Structure formats: C-alpha cells, structure tokens
Amino acid sequence: MDNVYVLGGLRSYIGIKNSAYRHVPAEQLGAAVLRELAGKYPLHKADMIIGGNSVGCGGNITRLAALEAGLPSSIPSLTIDQQCASSLAAITTAAAMIESGLAGLVIAGGFESTSTQPLRMHHPNHPDFTKDSRPYTTARFIPGPQYEDIMLQGAERTICHHHVQKEELDSWTLISHQRALRAREDGVLKDVVCPVCGLDMDEGIRPRMSQKLIDRLPPVLKDGRYLNAANACSMNDGAAFILLCSGQYLKDHGLTPRCRLSGAFSTGADPLMSPVSAVASIQQLLERTHTSMDEIGCVECNEAFAVIDVLFQRAYPDKCSRYNMFGGALAYGHPYGASGAIIFLHLMKAMELTGSRKGICSVAAAGGIGTAVLLRSV
C-alpha cells in the first residue's frame, strides 16, 4: 500500500448561525473555499472530491459545490454524512482510496450552513406524522422518540454519569476562548484560513468571556443543571478542504508534503452519551497503531461540549498544554460537516509550530460514533 500525504488545505472563517453567512447556502460556502484552494494547488488534477455535510439539502451536495467552484466536471464527487465526524470521515475515505491505489490525488473535507439548513417534515405516510406535526431540524440518531435537543441531553447525561463538576467545565470554556483569542492575535492560522463571502474573522471568539459571564448563564435544558450556552458549542457555518495524495504522486510531480496521514480509526460508543466516543476513538487508534500517548506531541478534539475536554484531561492529564492549542469549538463554533477538517488543519499547524513528530485529532459524532486520525511529520 502507498503512503498518504497531506499537501495542504484551507478553511473559511467560521460564522455564527444567521450572521455573516446567513444568505450563503452550504454548497456556495464549500465552493468558495474550493476556489481559494484551487489558487494554491492543482485541484483540476484530482481523482475524486469527497465532502462531508450533515444538514444540507442532500442530493450529493459535494458534486454541486464542486461544479459551483468551477472544477472540471470530469472529477467525480462523493458526499458523506457521519454528522459531526463527516469531514473527518471524508478524509479517512480519501486516505483509504489512496492507500488502495484507487486514487492518487483527492480533495477531502466538508462544509455546512446551519443558517440555511432545510426544515424537515414527516410525510403523511410516516408513522410519526400527525395532524399537529411541525417542521423539525434534528434527525433521529437512535431508536425511540425524536427530540430536537437529543445532543444536549446526551452531553448532560455524560456530565452526570462521569460526575463532572461545574468548575471543570468552566475552566475549559475559559481556556478555549483564551487560546483562540491568542491564536487570532498571533496570526498562527493565517496560512490555513481564507476570507470568503465577506467574512474575515471567526465570529464566535469572545474576548470578554469570563467566569462572571458563565455564572450568569442559565441551563439550556429545562431539567438540566450543568449544560449552558458557554460550555456547549454554538451552531455555525463554515467550510474546510484538505488535499491528500500518494507517495507516487509526490514523486511524479516533485511536490513537498506538509505531513503524512498514518492511521485512522472509527469506533462506536453509547449513543446516549456520544461525547465519550472522542477519547474512546483516540485510545483505540493508539492501540491499533501500536503508538503510545507519550509519542503524541499535539492533540485536537472537536470541542462540541466542554465535557469532552474534561474526559480527555482525566485520561491524559500530561497532554493538556498540547491539547486544542488554538482553542476549540466552544470558541470557534461547530459547523458540523466541516469541523473534522477544521481540527485536522489546526492539528497540522500545531505540529508544525511545536516541531511534533506525531499528532492526533478526534471527533465525537451524533449516534455515538468516534473517529480519530493520526498524523506524522515528514
């Protein structure tokens, strides 16, 4: 099998739902980043484009984004929906194609617009349809009743099950915004972020996030105690794409990679407590690749909820200074279908800045699925 190399990638700035990108459909946001990426890399030579998308219009929306971007119609496209892990699943699928020899150059990533996501409605033939049925936005992830706040319930349940304290959640919430603000001020992500559709900053970072503000926030669940608008991520719009290739493609075209993708693993976990799958996928990836956490220089987890940070800290207390070094989704936000590719880019940058040989990124997804990827420097 051939090795899988990362040539580079770009992400958009991340917008808050119904703000800067409120009139930009997902495919146009994805297309905008693809056009920017095409200005830096030979996208027209790609064998495949794989995009993650969770709440879009369906219909192989990645193909629509590629055509909107003006990429050759001869390049096929594939859309993956693994909810929060969609773009990381797109990247691992691209890696599998390259390893197997099915492709030499693949564009992979994801894009999301919560601002323009379609409203869903049960068909009258559906057993859940009633005369009082109303449009809904959240898909059913587990058998049983359908709840719009199923992910919030799962996070609250995880917090209670693992006896997580408010102080732990508050600490990581503050750290996320502080690190994101520092990364913005230092410009450490400038070569992997591109302004598109009129936005030139990540909207979710709050310079004035404080303990006093957190203490004033009410629970987001009627019967909840811990989850609030600070320790749970916001809903967002954004896009990110990575360019991956084989070792043979590198050699044939005289290119220099930024890193190598050397392992990936997805695991299932309790669907009622999906946040636990982030650490679970990291642990199983380390085991499958015969890697010790001592060898890992940097870690990125999609910070949908602060409880994910707490669980990581409990499992690997010595790694917290190299964990989400530029802040996480509590600060930036969580454009579902793009988030895996976003943290992939952040991990790549963190490894470069720290001189780390190995790094891991992980996403916990709705339904209790965790996906993790191992990167190596070159």
Residue with tokens 């001869």: 74
Return the closest-CA partner of residue 370 out of 243, 251, 275. 275
More confident residue, 145 or 68: 68
d(CA 371, CA 361): 8
Domain boundaries, the chain: 4-119+234-253, 262-376
Give per-residue pLDDT as tens, 6-33: 999 999 999 999 999 999 999 999 999 9
Fold of 262-376: Peroxisomal Thiolase; Chain A, domain 1 (3.40.47)
Q: Examine the pLDDT at 88 and tell me if it is beyond 90.
A: yes
Do the two domains 4-119+234-253 and 262-376 of this chain adopt the same fold? yes
Tell whether domain 4-119+234-253 is in CATH 3.40.50.1000. Answer: no
d(CA 84, CA 334): 8
Return the closest-CA partner of residue 333 out of 100, 12, 102, 37. 12
At 340 the three-state DSSP class reads helix
Arithmetic mean of pLDDT, 117-146: 84
Q: Examine the pLDDT at 208 and tell me if it is beyond 90.
A: yes
Count of C-beta atoms within a 10 Å radius of residue 220: 17
The tokens for 252 are: 């044939």
Residues 6+ apart with CB under 8 A from 23: 115, 116
Arithmetic mean of pLDDT, 164-179: 98
Which H or E run contains 231? Answer: none
Give per-residue pLDDT as tens, 298-315: 999 999 999 999 999 999
d(CA 193, CA 240): 9
Arithmetic mean of pLDDT, 316-332: 98
DSSP state of 358: E
pLDDT for the residue numbered 120: 86
**Whole-model pTM over 0.75:** yes
Q: Examine the pLDDT at 140 and tell me if it is beyond 90.
A: no
Give per-residue pLDDT as tens, 60-78: 999 999 999 999 999 999 9
Arithmetic mean of pLDDT, 326-341: 98
Classify residue 270 by burial, with Cβ atoms within 10 Å: 0-12, 13-18, 19+: middle
pLDDT bucket at 187, cuts 50 / 70 / 90: very high
pLDDT for the residue numbered 107: 99
d(CA 158, CA 227): 11
